[in-house]
Structure 1
Amino acid sequence: MTLLPTSVPDFSTTALYGDQNNTNGTGCPEQDDWQWLNTSQPVYILLISVLGIVFNMFVLMVFCLHKKPCTVAEIYLSNLAAADLVLVSCLPFWAVNISNGFNWPFGQFLCKLINLGIKMNVYCSLYFLILISIDRYVALVHTMSHGRMRRPKYAKLGCLLMWGFGLLLSVPTLVYREVKYFPEYDVHACFLNYPSHVIELLFDGLLIIFSFIIPISIISFCTIKIIQALKIQAVERFSAEKTEQRATTLMLAVLLAFLICWLPFHVVTTLDVLLRAEVLGGCHLSAVLEICNQIFTYLAFFNSVLNPILYVIVGKNFRKKVREVFQQWSVKRRATLDSTRSHLSSTLKTVI
């Protein structure tokens, strides 16, 4: 998907996934009504970047500073917060790029690195959600048979593998992202320069499979089984541990937010790939997809801000951890003040 800014070629945009060729690839005339989108995007990107950085750093600080070790669910949520933090930390570079008329001012190295950071952490966020779904599925559906697998060391290993898998899926971004000068527009654009249309469609197809079809299938299966298990427990008046119930409620809220934020983007991306593969056609469809892509891309990025908000609103255990961390901080502060006062008092007595 590409952005077609007023009087500028469709170099960019989505930092996330885009085909960045000089034309829109559909044979349709380029749109000339993008000014409203180009002027509003940088402000919106900076807003979600600031909120995302503050909120996700807060979540990570709570998990790191709490005196008790993280549970399996908290290990997954902390890694999800870390992925969201890296993602939103990369977005201000694209805000500058858009406000600069898509003239990339940061050089070739950051062109690759920033886009690698965005795409890798998009993948990692998706697969951490898969791990969260599987964990809740095992906790509620296969409690006895697979309970031993729900250990912190296995959770940490799973997270490490997901970071590596996200990096592997992002290799095309590292290889094909480059800065190129377009003399007709007098800009140095950071864009995806695939060597051929076939390779472009191949990677777009892999994108749809690994960032949409597989995650949605696994998450949907686990969610359906979890809801069925909760219904059976309700009918049989069986009460699971409160911590498991709370973790499941938070997981369902996070997954719902994921679907709301990401599903429209992936539907539009799939339609765009079909359009460029000439399975679908039509200038009207092309124009609608271009606008929808921009709107839904940044709706998807908003998910990185929404997740930590859900931890506070829905996560009762997380709110408890926040209170305990502040209590720890208050006790340490009082102890430090008392120690300082005692030291000063003893020093004054010695002097007197």
Structure 2
Amino acid sequence: MVTFTTAVTVRETNATCDAYEHQDTARILLPLFYSLILIIGALGNGLALAVIIKHRKKINSTTLYSTNLVVSDILFTTALPTRIAYYALGFHWPFGETLCRLTALIFYINTYAGVNFMTCFSIDRFFAVVHPFHYNRFRRVKHAKYVCIFVWFLVFSQTLPLLVQSMSKEEQERTTCMEYPNFEAIPHLPWILLGACLIGYIIPLVTILACYSRVSCKLYRTAKINPTTERSGINKKAINTIIFVIAVFVVCFTPYHIAIIQYMVKKLQLQGDPPCSELQYFQKSLHYTVFLMNFNCCMDPFIYFFACKGYKTTILKILKRQVSVSLSSAVRSAHEESSREVGESNMITLSKPLK
């Protein structure tokens, strides 16, 4: 009976709790952060897509997974301008419920697609190194296409129900969009979110770590038997790709899912809502960990850099060309400056009166 009364009191308190008390700071930082994602994500993924199209005749499973990840990231950047405006307005959404649902759908599509295709990258590298004799059969583009179709089916089955769920909420000072308090009325929400964390984060992370462990053991044994294999570009490529994928998971996805799991477990333990201060802290942590999760849109081009030879070659050519142009401009400027100084010196000499 005491527990029930406490839960009701906390719920009533949270009904008037301002979960957006950090809006003054957030309306400056979040638009800045998401503008950075928009610029880097659009440029990096646009360049990746151009390279993939240019080398489309040499497509393999790795570049096919890259293409799908690029499309997902580019789609995500189209939803960023409205989110930037939303944060700049202090968590106020003036664009209507339909657009709110659409941007939420794009957001979750990018999240789940990113996780699943990164897992595909790791499994692809696993077969390339650990089972090289079976690799060609699994690596064939035909099989990779079926995998991509299944991934998109899985992603849309997870996200399309969002279209029938209200995403915005009218409050006293604002209309919020895609915020956690907007979903609290959903029955069994803690269990739903914990299940989403299991399927969308824990299982893929365990899969990626398992692939990395097997690849590391295989490379170690191979190098021990035949030291010349250390020079193999394929092995280095595999290890670099999976290490970077793990780094992206740890940096981008882990903080968000830890925040979700921690708060949902606390809700289940209390059999109700935690105090207002904890809700405020949770909401604040969500805003910044979600930004960190979305930052994977900027990190994905680095995965292409390690995994796709054509992308790496093109980037290096662009950098060399840029350095060459910069050096040429510097040399030309120095030469012009030197010529101007000589001319000015001659003018001064000529202008001096003869004695």
TM-score range, shorter chain: 0.7 to 0.9
Structure 1 residues 73 and 305, CA gap change in structure 2 (3 angstroms): same
Match of 2:211 among 202, 212, 222: 222
Q: Secondary structure at the match of 2:295?
A: helix
Of 284-293 and 110-119, the range deviating more from structure 2: 284-293
Structure 1 residues 317 and 47, CA gap change in structure 2 (3 angstroms): same
- In structure 1, the residue matched to 2:291 is 298
Q: 1: distance between equivalents of 2:254 and 2:73?
A: 17
- In structure 2, the residue matched to 1:333 is none
Match of 1:320 among 313, 322, 326: 313
Q: Secondary structure at the match of 1:189?
A: strand
Q: Do residues 252 (structure 1) and 257 (structure 2) align?
A: no
- In structure 2, the residue matched to 1:174 is 163
Q: 2: distance between equivalents of 1:204 and 1:167?
A: 17
Q: 2: distance between equivalents of 1:270 and 1:60?
A: 35
Tell me how far 1:277 sits from its aligned partner: 2.5
Tell me how far 1:32 sits from its aligned partner: 3.7
* Aligned sequence identity (%): 23
- In structure 2, the residue matched to 1:162 is 151
- In structure 2, the residue matched to 1:237 is 226
Q: 2: distance between equivalents of 1:29 and 1:165?
A: 36
TM-score (norm 1): 0.75
Q: Do residues 271 (structure 1) and 233 (structure 2) align?
A: no
Asked whether the 8 Å contact 1:253–1:314 carries over to 2, the reply is no
- Matched residue count: 303
Q: 2: distance between equivalents of 1:24 and 1:292?
A: 20
1:336-351, aligned counterparts within 5 Å? none
Q: 1: distance between equivalents of 2:177 and 2:124?
A: 39
Match of 2:191 among 202, 221, 227: 202
1:41-190, aligned counterparts within 5 Å? 41-66=30-55, 68-145=57-134, 147-182=136-171, 184-185=172-173, 187-190=174-177
Q: 2: distance between equivalents of 1:107 and 1:155?
A: 39
Asked whether the 8 Å contact 2:86–2:92 carries over to 1, the reply is yes
- In structure 2, the residue matched to 1:14 is none
**What 5-or-longer segments of structure 1 have no aligned partner?**
1-21, 327-352
Cα shift readout 1:55-106 (whole Å, capped 9, x = no counterpart): 1011011011126321211111221222122223212211111222333222
Of 54-63 and 143-152, the range deviating more from structure 2: 143-152
Tell me how far 1:244 sits from its aligned partner: 5.2
Q: Secondary structure at the match of 2:187?
A: helix
Of 248-257 and 113-122, the range deviating more from structure 2: 248-257
Asked whether the 8 Å contact 1:75–1:156 carries over to 2, the reply is yes
Of 57-66 and 248-257, the range deviating more from structure 2: 248-257
Q: 1: distance between equivalents of 2:246 and 2:177?
A: 33
Asked whether the 8 Å contact 2:209–2:246 carries over to 1, the reply is no
Asked whether the 8 Å contact 2:76–2:107 carries over to 1, the reply is yes
Of 154-163 and 195-204, the range deviating more from structure 2: 195-204
- Larger Cα Rg: Structure 1 or Structure 2? 2
Asked whether the 8 Å contact 2:18–2:280 carries over to 1, the reply is no
Q: Secondary structure at the match of 2:170?
A: strand
Structure 1 residues 161 and 324, CA gap change in structure 2 (3 angstroms): farther
Q: 2: distance between equivalents of 1:277 and 1:324?
A: 55
Asked whether the 8 Å contact 1:119–1:170 carries over to 2, the reply is yes
Asked whether the 8 Å contact 1:72–1:152 carries over to 2, the reply is yes
Cα shift readout 1:225-252 (whole Å, capped 9, x = no counterpart): 1111111111112628534542442232
Cα shift readout 1:275-312 (whole Å, capped 9, x = no counterpart): 33345956665554333322222111112102214534
Q: 2: distance between equivalents of 1:151 and 1:92?
A: 38
Q: Give the letter for the 1:228 counterpart.
A: C
**What 5-or-longer segments of structure 2 have no aligned partner?**
1-10, 320-355
- In structure 2, the residue matched to 1:11 is none
Q: Give the letter for the 1:301 counterpart.
A: N
